Amino acid sequence: MSQPSAPSEVRTGGAPGRAARPGRSRHPLARFLLRRLAIAVLLAFGITLVTFVLTNLVPGDPVTANLGQNALGDPALVAQWRADHGLDKPLPQQYLTYLGGLLQGDLGVSQQSHRPVLTDLAEFVPSTIELAGSAILVSLVVGVAFGVVAALRRDRPSDQALRVLSLIGISVPTFWLALVAFYVFFFRLQITPGSGRINPDMSAPPAVTGLFTVDAALAGQWDVFASAAGHLITPALVLAAYTIGLLTRFTRSAVLEVLGQDYVRAARAKGLPGRVILFRYVLRSALVPIITVAGLAFGSLLSGTVLVESVFARPGIGQYAYKSATTLDLPAVMGVGLVVGCVYVVINLVVDVLYGVIDPRVRLS
Amino acid sequence: MATRMRRRPARQAKAALLPVLLAGALSLAACSGGGTSTTPAQSAGGTASKTLVMDASFTLKTADPGRNYEPTGLIIGKALYDTLLTFEGSDVTKPVPSLAESYEQSSDGKTLTLKLRQGATFSDGSPVTADDVVFSLNRVRDLKGNPSFLLDGVKVAKTDDTTVTLTSETPKPALPFILPNPALGILNSKTVKANGGAEDTSDKAEQYLNGASAGSGPYTLESFNAQSQVVLKANPKYWGQKKPTYGKVVLRNVESATQKLNVQRGDSQVALDLSGDQIKTVSGSQQTTKTASANMVFLLANQDTAVSRTSSNPKIVEAVRKGIDYQGLLELAGEGSVQAPGVIPTMLLGALPPDQAVKRDVEAAKAAVAASGVGNPTLKLEYPSDLTLQGLSFQPFAERIQANLKEVGITVDLAPAPVATALENYRKGKEELGLWYWGPDYPDPTDYLVFLPGNTVGLRSGWKKGADKALEELGDKAAVTIGDDARKQLYTDIQTKLNATGPFVPLIQPSQNIVTAASVTGLAFHPVWTVDVAALGAK
């Protein structure tokens, strides 16, 4: 198939002959997906440009930050270091080199660890994904459940209690909550383990995904799994507190709004059981705003990991970003920027796709 | 519709499963919680092998000794790499043999001859040779890393298979005190060269040395992560007489607030960075070591009349020196801190005895102000406001000094600034009155000659060369004198003179607080490497 035919196929909604097939209804979704993917790729490109420009605008000289005092007095050595790290070239050329490397999966070498940034990220990102992923999972389950309960029991004491709880979740600073949770659950009640990702006397499970819980389960090391899961609970709950609060409030109002719609009243009048009405009519309609909020919340969750990782001494992308920024390790900073930016892009993509799946009208618009 | 009907129970089942999973995870957490990090296990040698967990606020960049000059890095370097000479326990007044069994310094102080010990081996079993020593020291000096200055101007040569000679153009009496620095650890030259090592700036071995160690120390590197955690494993082929007690040492990067809870709960056995306030509420079975650190906090009064006519007036300096309530400052600094009797910290060779420290004399201070001829003297005190030293902030000290000097008739205007900004004025010698500290680069009094006229800190206080010829001559002599007794006398004289007429007012040495579990024995704070991990034992 020649290349130009692919886009035209998308534009026209299908090649001749296909349109007649019964699966035609899928095409708007495929088209929608492709368009979103194209936008995502463009965004990722934009992110590389923004991170590169911003990183290079930062005042401060990476040479001073990385070479010893002795070396700074040696101009030849400084020049050599600049040349080695490509800093002697004009900025546009540096960007093109960076982009060229990026396309081949090369994010440069960290000036601090002297390892490829990709290797560093591969080490740190899974820990953060494990933490933020568990937090979002907990938030979705708990937040939506709380919201539904609050809506169904509107203005009753349980609703009031949940509203207060959600307000607390939203307003309490994450680092403070982390310290308090650490103190209460680890120190006072002694039901959760301490700092890090696993007990210090254990070795990390053989790396497959980098997620200790998954890797330990894959390797059948159940004691390591228990330790990794245990070390995850408090930080994940702390991180989830804000999102739970947010989702409770949004789910509550979304469900209340749907409950007032004519078709729900009609369904009730028809005598459908409450559970059917809730799951098939109410929740399905309420999901769109909930997903929007969850997507946005995931972003704030990522920034929250910096502090939570610090309190619970979990090696993650937050600590890596902090250390890289304070030492002007430009390739590492750009790597982190790129990863975080791309995570946002992926979240947006997923949210958009979920809209399309849940609400067919979105695909057509 | 039919498909939906089938799907629903599955969804419900999943929804029902989640709380179960969460509850399961929680109970697992409860099981895995607790500080059972000392797990008895049998090692090959038949002795109990234990894990030691240490929490520190990391100042760590690398595990490569040639580039390592951060406090946390030195703890690791000490465990991984043996040096030619070392110090016994906390005593830094006398270098003792390590990889070199003896040393001899020439009478002119320009040559140091070291006899190498036979039978010492690297962790791969190969012997430590004179070639390894020459390679390692040359590499540190010439790859231009942070510790390179330690060997500035020192030539390293192999005399024969068991002798190494260090020579310098100018006398270097401090060299035996410099050699124990973990940055000068001896590397397995074959391994390091095979992994990009070189004796110049083309050296590329750091990446290798951050993944594996190539030393002869009691420990080897199991894993290294400059941001989060370093794991050391006992070296099974360690040549030394005393084998390490702990089979594994985990050094974690932990905030100080969390450090305290961890050690109290038993999740870690050592917490290195607790402040005096935090230590007050540590209770129970933990042991607390409070030792004066080698950091000396001091005031400098600028002697440059272009900067200030007030601070350069000798009578004003005298009034400041006699007007400060040193006991009050010690109360602020907390238990374990001591008054600095001179610029040289108490644990170093040549330190003044505590009874020679300056005492407060308000009347004499008032008289000095009157004799200065300055009406209503006012001084601007600059200091770093965002810097903490052993958990102490400079702000309360500055306020206390302000209150003390008000009593003797000197008005002090406080001028705090972020350390980056404050440092600039300090380094350029523009501060009228400055509050700073000096930590030793190596535990030898020569490192304190920087306080004399024309030298680094002297210049920062506007004290140019020629400002005090007698003192400078004394300094020149001390720099080249060999022999502990003679040096001790010279440095005592220098500090006595400095305390009488110099522009510096040594204040205090804050306390280094280390909390350990009751089971840990043998902890001794060391001014260079903080803790010798291999010296720690277990009850």
Q: Given CB atoms, is B43 within the 8 Å cutoff of chain A?
A: no
Give A115's contacts in chain B (Cβ within 8 Å). 207, 210
Residue B327 clears pLDDT 50, i.e. is over it: yes
Are B532 and B91 contacting, i.e. CB atoms less than 8 angstroms apart? no
- Residue numbers of B between 140 and 169 with CB closer than 8 Å to A: 144-149, 152
> What token pair was written down for B422?
């404050």
Interface contact B262, partner A, CB < 8 A: yes
Does residue B54 belong to the interface with chain A, where contact is any CB pair within 8 Å?
no
Q: How is the beta sheet containing B100-105 ordered, strand by strand?
A: B100-105, B111-116, B163-168, B154-160
Taking alpha carbons only, the member of B408, B400, B412 closest to residue B370 is B408
Q: Which two tokens stand for residue B376?
A: 């209503």
B138-188 pLDDT, tens digit per residue, is 999 998 888 888 999 999 999 999 999 999 999 999 999 999 999 999 999
Measured between CB atoms, does B388 come within 8 Å of chain A?
Answer: no
pLDDT score for B1:
33
pLDDT tens, position by position, B96-143: 999 999 999 998 889 999 999 999 999 999 999 999 999 999 999 998
DSSP state, residue B92? -
In the predicted model, residues of chain A with pLDDT beneath 50 are 1-24
Give the pLDDT score at B180: 96
User: pLDDT value at position A67?
Assistant: 66
What structural domains and CATH numbers belong to chain A? Answer: 31-104 (no CATH), 118-358 (1.10.3720.10)
d(CA A311, CA A321): 15
Cα–Cα distance for residue pair B70/B60, rounded to 1 Å: 6
Name the CATH architecture for the domain at B51-290+513-538: 3-Layer(aba) Sandwich (3.40)
Question: Which of B30, B53, B152 shows the shortest C-beta gap to A200?
Answer: B53
> What ranges do the domains of chain B cover?
51-290+513-538, 296-509
Report the CATH architecture of B296-509. Roll (3.10)
CA-to-CA distance for B512 and B293, rounded, in angstroms?
Answer: 5
> What pLDDT is attached to residue B363?
96
B18, B53, B201: residue with CB nearest A77: B201
Chain B positions in Cβ-Cβ contact with residue A69 (cut-off 8 Å):
146, 149
Neighbours of A110 (CB within 10 A): 25
Contact B251, B36 (CB under 8 A): no
Phi (first) and psi of residue B202, to 5 degrees: -80, 0
Model confidence pLDDT, tens digit, residues B367-418 = 999 999 999 999 999 998 877 787 788 999 999 999 999 999 999 999 998 7
Q: B493 by DSSP, 3-state: which?
A: helix
Q: Which amino acid is at A46?
A: G
